[in-house]
Amino acid sequence: MKVLSVASECAPLVKTGGLADVVGALPGALAEVGVEMRVMLPGYPAVMAALEGAKVVLKIDDCFGGKGRVLSGEAAGFDLLVLEAAHLFDRGGSLYLDEHKHDWPDNPERFAALSWAAAAVAKAGTWRPDVVHLHDWQAGLAAYYLKDSGIPTVLTIHNIAFHGLAGRDQIESLRLDPHDFDREGYEFWGKISSLKAGLVWSDRITTVSPTYARELMRPEFGMGLDGVMRARSGDLSGILNGIDEAIWNPASDPEIKGYKSAKGKARNTAALRKELGLPESAGPLCVVISRLSDQKGLDLLLEALPALIDNGGQLALLGSGSPAMEVAFTHVAEAHDGVAVRIGYDEGLSHRMIAGGDAILVPSRFEPCGLTQLYGLRYGTIPVVALTGGLADTVIDANPAALATGVATGIQFYPVTSEALAQALIRLTELYADPGIWARLQKNAMTQPVGWAQSARAYADLYEVLASA
């Protein structure tokens, strides 16, 4: 089984969030079940610098504003296909934003080019995939470009909040048929939606948790595409993400003092407090590693934080995003010696925080799957999560029944409000104060399956169905 995975990022080469982690983990996980997966990426500077043994497999004279080439090579252990197009990808800033944190104005062309090149490789390349696996809006148009090819496609929604919109005046430049610009096609409120094109023309649709798959068919979660999701419900499935258990392994993690059981956490907690300048405390040290945004519910945490601090708890936060939230959390840290804030992202520090934290807070208003709660489970760092999406599917609430039967792994709260979060934080401090209960929670968390084995098999089964249709 040969599968071409088309995405805008892939860890560890280029990453802005969880999409990259999933794209980076899938090839190895699927190889275990007999799937040969190649990843197609844009030729960002970091990707081009890492690419080894590059060979030209396709030349594109008109690559949406300039010449382009598709290169085959290896980097970071991946078999890659890379779209080299300097006019689209050889630039500073981030993957999607310029140095002023504004969307690159030519993002529609940049990722239409990736989709176009992927379709061309699939149809004409010497390595012909049985299935093309597309990720989010950046690859959505590939399903449209492949719609008459006979090559099956599957689109995975990692976050439906991002649609990849373009103006109606770009129909011709994006190589779309104007007859498909309607409610049944790629039109979305008078604009072109790359994501909707993928949803309409992909043969199958997956998303990254069963609960999120159901939520997407509801207006409050579907971001205007809930009608499309209901229409495609028979072709939709939710497959949980996993994590790379070799990279996220408390027994061998080079960033921490390794431990094989929850007993080894104390020395990592002490080291983290020292690194961040936090005093000793009898309460739980809670960590947050997140983009600072309303989606992630961090504004709710600002309001609920007194419930943690007043009950002896502490907070360590690593993240960036909303300037207002960055300032607000920085001010909280200046006012409370039990709060430490680091604005930005540091991969090593994220490992040390998850290893040293007693609990990890994920109060998202919506969360397709979430990975940080899985990292927390792996390291015995108890997740406190909103009851939504993949958070609902991966954490067992420490309610009386779950505690009585010994299966609880964390704390869930609902509704997703600051008041409910505050009550969850109080409940956290109460559970932490009982050493027997807390030890059982940690043990349960660390034995919870969080890897890719089951999900890889589900993807392989889906590919088999598509390839044999």
pLDDT recorded at residue 363:
98
Split at pLDDT 50, 70, 90, the class of 18 is confident
pLDDT recorded at residue 295:
93
pLDDT recorded at residue 196:
98
Residue 259 has pLDDT above 90, yes or no: no
pLDDT recorded at residue 319:
95
Residue 8 has pLDDT above 80, yes or no: yes
Domains and CATH numbers, the chain: 2-242+452-468 (3.40.50.2000), 262-446 (3.40.50.2000)
Q: Distance between CA atoms of 345 and 289, rounded to whole angstroms?
A: 9
- What are the backbone dihedrals phi and psi of residue 251, each rounded to the nearest 5 degrees, phi first? -80, -20
Residue 438 has pLDDT above 90, yes or no: yes
pLDDT recorded at residue 279:
97
pLDDT recorded at residue 290:
95
Burial class (CB in 10 A: 0-12, 13-18, 19+), 205: buried
pLDDT recorded at residue 387:
98
**SS3 of the chain: helix, strand, coil, percent, to 5:** 40, 20, 35
Strand partners, 269: none
Residue 20 has pLDDT above 80, yes or no: yes
pLDDT recorded at residue 264:
85
pLDDT recorded at residue 160:
96
| Mean pLDDT value of segment 187-206 | 98
Reported as a single tens digit per residue, the pLDDT across 229-239 is: 999 999 999 99
Burial class (CB in 10 A: 0-12, 13-18, 19+), 457: middle
Answer whether 198's CB lies under 8 Å from 137's CB: yes
Q: Which of 267, 160, 262, 170 is nearest to 205 (CA)?
A: 160
Of all residues in the chain, the percent with pLDDT exceeding 70 is: 100
pLDDT recorded at residue 371:
93
Lowest-confidence pick of 128-142, 249-263, 282-296, 326-340? 249-263
Please report, in angstroms and rounded to a whole number, the separation of the first and last CA atoms in the chain: 14
Reported as a single tens digit per residue, the pLDDT across 403-426 is: 999 999 999 999 999 999 999 999
pLDDT recorded at residue 92:
86
Contacts of 384 (CB under 8 A, 6+ apart): 286, 359, 360, 361, 362, 363, 410, 411, 413, 424, 425, 428
Answer whether 402's CB lies under 8 Å from 441's CB: no
Reported as a single tens digit per residue, the pLDDT across 95-120 is: 999 988 899 999 999 999 999 999 99
Tokens found for residue 270: 């002490």
Report pTM: 0.91
pLDDT recorded at residue 362:
98
The distance from CA 195 to its chain's CA centroid, rounded to whole angstroms, is 16
Strand partners, 79: 74
Single-letter residue type at 245: E
pLDDT recorded at residue 469:
83
Tokens found for residue 292: 């600072």
Single-letter residue type at 415: P
Q: Which of 35, 19, 24 is nearest to 457 (CA)?
A: 35
DSSP per-residue string spanning 141-195? HHHHHTTTTS--EEEEES-TT---EE-GGGTTTTT--GGG-STTTTEETTEEEHH
Of all residues in the chain, the percent with pLDDT exceeding 90 is: 94
Query: Across the chain, what does the average pLDDT equal?
Result: 96
Single-letter residue type at 91: R
Split at pLDDT 50, 70, 90, the class of 126 is confident
Q: Which of 279, 394, 298 is nearest to 343 (CA)?
A: 298
DSSP helix/strand/coil, 58: strand
Strands (E), 7-85: 36-42, 52-60, 68-75, 78-84
Evaluate the CA torsion angle 273, 277, 279, 284 in order and state its sign.
Answer: negative
